[in-house]
Structure 1
């Protein structure tokens, strides 16, 4: 599975996706508005979604619309706050589902019951009301439509703000939950892993923010492993830092949306390079690390550091990182090795699968998703 965001078309058209690598594609994003309808990030989004559905269906791949996202969650709380609002919102979602001949709906509310982006509405009853929306949607969507949710590593919170201990009613109506195990640590002078596999050193100040702990938390609250999907990033973060290693996360503060690519021009191979983030942020796609010269292919299945960077491995989180002493940068990211490990873990513990955010961060040869498929033992 993978996300195809509406800003990806400049570098990857729907028709150029290698659909043989995917079973499901999530189009990101539809946005709830103040009147509980579904609107778009750009005027081109509806046409792009139609093209994606056509291209995917020709290859027997299914498409869901993901509604929400980091900057698109402002109105969720209001949209689910009353029976009347939920009925309006659910009907609008159904209308979009049918209009675009979709195969399902993904709700990416960041986050029910507690803060996400600045300006989001929050209510202590959000999670309970969210369940009511999902139950209503399940009743009106076509029986073969998939209904899914993207969520944090910790389960939804209850009305006291604590992670729920019984998710069985959510499991009854959802086909799966995607655990967004990324953005755990963003840009910082003392950076940490973007997407920790585990708390291998047992010293994390937020021990629930990794793939292993997320699996344990969700299954421990009664959500079946067979309905869990592990989210994987095709991007990382650039930090201006002189640190000599990574540290564990101390606070849960997300500042950056998962962003679109920016074409800045290339560095000459063999030179010392300074990596430029995307759209003025600190995010950087894996393919950009190649294009800008921080990584270079060393074999059919490996990439090594270049451009004055050295590659390191953080044993506490089982993720790689790059360091340049000359330009004082650290890049926290995932590569073929760490993605393989995460996919292998998902298969070993009986999870449904994995989902990459996002597919246009991959290489032209589709190395990242191919490493994931090897980990899942499907390619």
Structure 2
């Protein structure tokens, strides 16, 4: 699975997706409005969604519409707050579902019972109201529609302000949830891992923020492992920093979803907007020449890919989070990211834990030969090793 964001349509039209490598594509995003309707992030989105559905269905693959996102969750609380609001909101979702011949709906509310982005409305009853809304949406949509949710590494927040200890009722109405195990740490003078697999050193300041911790939290609260999907990033963060090791975690208060850094060449790849727009796609690390890959042949004849930094950057491995990072002493930059090695470990974790699968955010961040995707597919046992 992977997300297809509407803002990449100009450079990465849906037809460039190799659908043989994916089962589901999530189109991001439609955004709830104050009047319980839905609007688009981008005026080109309707055409892009139409093209995506046509291309996917031509390959017998399926598409969900993702609603919300970090900057699009302002009015969720209002939309689910009353019976009438829930009904109208559900019906408006059904209208889009039918109009675009969709196969499912993904609710990316960031986050029920918590503020999330600046300007969001929220209520202590959000979690309970969200469940009632999902139950209604299940009735309103066709019986074969898939309904999913993108969620934090901890279960939904209850009325007491703490993660719910029992989310079993949600598992009865949701086909699966995607655990967004990314954006754990953005651009910072004291950078940390974007998507930690685990707290391997046992000293994390936020031990709940890793793939392993998220799996434990959700399953302990009653959500079946077979309905959990692990979110994987195809991007990383550029930081202006002299740090030689990674910190553990930032506070969950800033989560840029649409950062598109302007690369300034090999000598300095830090974009002007720093902490708020410091994202960089994996493919651009290769393109900019700061990350190199080569094949190594072992004595038994097997080959493996070796990754090294280049043009002043040195690749390091953070054993605490099982993620790589690049560091340039001369330009005082650190790049935290994921590559085929780290995503392979996450894919293997998902498989061994009995999870449903993985979902990459997003599909256009991979290389032209689908280096990240294929590494994960191998780890999941979907292609020959």
Residue 278 of structure 1 and its aligned partner are, at CA, apart by 8.9
> Which residue of 363, 376, 379 corresponds with 2:380?
376
Deviation at 1:285, TM superposition (A): 0.6
Pairwise CA distance, 1:42? 1.5
**2:268 equivalent in structure 1:** 274
The residue correspondences of 1:53-202 to structure 2 (distance < 5 A) are 53-202=53-202
1:84-121 per-position Cα deviation (integer Å, ceiling 9, x unaligned)? 00000000001000100000000000010011110000
CA gap of 1:96–1:369, structure 2 versus 1, over 3 A, is: same
**Structure-2-length-normalised TM-score:** 0.94
Is 1:303 matched with 2:307?
A: yes
Q: Does 1:287 align with 2:283?
A: yes
Is contact 1:187–1:238 with CA below 8 Å preserved after alignment?
yes
User: Which residue of the partner structure matches residue 337 of structure 1?
Assistant: 341
Which stretch shows the higher mean deviation, 332-341 or 247-256?
247-256
d(CA) in 1 for partners of 2:240, 2:349: 32
Q: Distance in 2 between matches of 1:279 and 1:38?
A: 30
Distance 2:75 2:329 in 1: 44
**Which consecutive unaligned segments of at least 5 residues does structure 2 have?**
296-303
Distance change (3 Å), C-alpha of 1:302 and 1:2 = farther
- The alignment covers a number of residue pairs equal to 373
State the Cα distance separating 1:253 from its structure 2 match: 2.1
> TM-score, normalized by length of structure 1?
0.96
- Deviation for aligned residue 1:289: 1.0
The residue correspondences of 1:166-245 to structure 2 (distance < 5 A) are 166-245=166-245
Contact 1:234/1:361 (CA < 8 Å) preserved in 2? yes
How far the C-alpha of 1:290 sits from its partner, in A, is 1.4
8 A Cα contact 1:260 1:279, kept in partner: no
Q: Root-mean-square deviation (CA), in Å?
A: 1.4
Partners of 2:68 and 2:105 in 1: how far apart?
11
Question: How far off is 1:283 after superposition?
Answer: 0.7
Kindly state the Cα deviation for residue 295 of structure 1 after the two structures are TM-superposed: 1.1
